[in-house]
Amino acid sequence: MKIIRKNLTMVIGILMFLGIVIVSILAPWFSPYDPLEVNLSQRLKSANAIHFCGTDFWGRDIFSRIIFGGRISLSIGIISITASMILGSYFGLIAGYYNEAKISKLIIWITDIIMSFPMIILGAIVAMTLGTGILNTMLAITIAFWPRFVRISRAAVLSVKEEVYITAAKSIGMSDFRIFRVHLLPNISSTIVVMAIIWMSDAITMEVALSFIGLGVSPPTASWGVILQDNLRYFLMEPMAVIWPCIAIAWTVQALNLIGDRFRDILDPKMR
């Protein structure tokens, strides 16, 4: 009980996030309508008893679109971040452990260049060179966050690798790979996971932004970004059509930030 009181914000965040994830996973059971079903007689209606969030320009039920859209946006976010985390941490580990070697400098150089581009631009470059769609969007997001994971895992490795137990392990002839697995990874994993949670909200935001511009998920597949793009045209006519998906996005992003933020505070040794 006391633990919950102390970490109230994180608990709220976790509940919020679980809430939206469960609703998304169970979308087919929760949604009253097919998200793609067009119903021209019910255009741009505001929230009422049969359409909880109203309908969009094509008469599609917004509530259903939002919860189905959640499936897409959330899974893109989660999968991309996980892929980025695995790849980035691996490269960061190498860069940190073999810090003097040329490979480390090469990795750092590449990450610096990628990081100098705003995320939208990176996504745009991917869209331009490889096309749009769910997979490419995931790729764009993975590329965008890869350098960040490289950086933090490298920094974490650098600070751990000088510890005596690593030298001790080396002195008994432990192979590098085993050292990674047994000593380094467990120690840096908490730092990395915390950042993954925090960046997951940015990843979802990035997907929404890209789809919103038209460079991400392609319509008519509903992701939150696509819904925004569809409905923004009619913002003045029916603002709630845009506000409801925004609330869903803000809810998710806020939830993840609450979790990650508090998590980071807990892990920070400076906290008294």
Partner 1 sequence: MSPYIIRSIIRAFVTMFIVLTLVFIIIRVGPVDPVRYMLGNYATAESYQSIRAELKLDLPLHTQYAHFLNQLLRGDLGRSYINKQSVVSQLLSVLPYTLELLVAGILIGIFMGVPSGILAALKPNSIFDHIIRLITMVGVSIPTFVSGIFLIWIFSIKLNLLPIFSVGTDNLKSRILLLILPAFSVGIWMLASITRLTRASLLDVLQKDYITTARSKGISESLVILGHALMNSLLPLITYLGISVNILLGSAVLTEIVFTRPGVGILIVDSIKTGDFEMVQSLIMLYAAIIVIVNLFVDISYSLVDPRIVHK
Kindly state whether residue 57 participates in binding partner 1, applying the rule CB under 8 A: no
Is residue 31 part of the contact set for partner 1 (CB under 8 A)?
A: no
Choices 23-31, 46-54, 98-106, 110-118; region in contact with partner 1 by CB under 8 A: 110-118
Question: Which 124-163 residues touch partner 1, going by CB under 8 A?
Answer: 124-125, 127-131
Three-state SS string across the chain, please? CHHHHHCHHHHHHHHHHHHHHHHHHCHHHHCCCCCCCCCHHHCCCCCCCCCCCCECCCCCEHHHHHHHHHHHHHHHHHHHHHHHHHHHHHHHHHHHHCCCCHHHHHHHHHHHHHHCCCHHHHHHHHHHHHCCCHHHHHHHHHHHHHHHHHHHHHHHHHHHHCCHHHHHHHHCCCCHHHHHHHHHHHHHHHHHHHHHHHHHHHHHHHHHHHHHHCCCCCCCCCCHHHHHHHHHCCCCCCCHHHHHHHHHHHHHHHHHHHHHHHHHHHHCCCCC
Within residues 226-245, the interface with partner 1 by CB under 8 A covers: 228, 232, 235-236, 239, 242-243
How many positions of this chain bind partner 1 (CB under 8 A)?
A: 42
Closer residue to partner 1 in complex, CB, 190/257: 257
In this chain, which stretch among 69-77, 145-153, 165-173, 247-255 interacts with partner 1, using CB under 8 A?
Answer: 247-255
Nearest to partner 1 of 193, 209 (CB atom): 209
Please state the closest distance from residue 268 (CB atom) to partner 1, in A.
10
Residues 162-201 that bind partner 1 (CB under 8 A): 201
Using CB under 8 A, pick the residue from 203, 215, 222, 241 that binds partner 1: 215
Residues that bind partner 1 (CB under 8 A): 9, 112-113, 115-121, 124-125, 127-131, 201, 205, 208-209, 212-215, 228, 232, 235-236, 239, 242-243, 246, 249-250, 253-254, 256-258, 261, 270
